[in-house]
Structures are given as C-alpha cells and as structure tokens.
Amino acid sequence: MVDLRLMIPESRTALPRHEVSLDGVVIGWVQFHRIGRSTRDFYKAHGIHPGNGKIVNLENHPSMEEAVRTLEEFHEYPDRFSRHFL
C-alpha cells in the first residue's frame, strides 16, 4: 500500500514535497515544481535506490499519480532506470 505524507517545508518559500512510502518503507519523495516560466505544474520524483540507498533523481511528470507510479516502479525494478546513474 502506498502512502503520501506532506512534509514540513524547509522554508517559507519552499514548494510542497510529499514523502512516499510503500508498505511502511520510505521509497522516495515527490516535489512540486514549475519549469521555467511555464504555468503548468510538474512533479519531480526522487527515489531511494533499494540496493545502495542513494538518492536518484527520476523523471518530471505532469501529475503526482504518475510520479508516484515512477517511484513504485523504480523501487521494484531499479535496473530499468540505469540511465539516471550516468
């Protein structure tokens, strides 16, 4: 089961960030952001590699649900995301 928890902002200007847990284990974060002057919202997935614990920057998504699915997939199959380690 996936759980999202809104984290306390690091500063007054910090954008919203959610901690993502799978079956009680934190697998990463989803950070709200905007790209350039775009008015469209995006969500950046940051995953914790299940093998070595390193933080891996994953893809931007136009929806939070897609970013969470990316974290779930990364947690299950980290080798599919090898391009992010280069």
Instruction: Give this prediction's pTM.
Output: 0.85
pLDDT of residue 27: 97
pLDDT of residue 36: 80
Query: CA–CA distance from 49 to each of 30, 35, 37, 59, 65 (Å)?
Result: 15, 25, 31, 15, 20
pLDDT of residue 85: 52
SS3 readout for the chain = CEEEEECCCCCCCCCCEEEEEECCEEEEEEEEECCCCCCCCEEEEEEECCCCCCEEEEEEECCHHHHHHHHHHHHHCHHHHHHHHC
Kindly indicate the confidence band of residue 82, based on its pLDDT and cuts at 50, 70 and 90.
low
Q: List pLDDT tens digits, range 4-39.
A: 999 998 888 888 899 999 999 999 999 998 878 878
**Whether pLDDT at 86 is above 50:** no
Q: List pLDDT tens digits, range 41-62.
A: 899 999 999 989 999 999 889 9
What are 4's strand-pairing partners?
Answer: 20
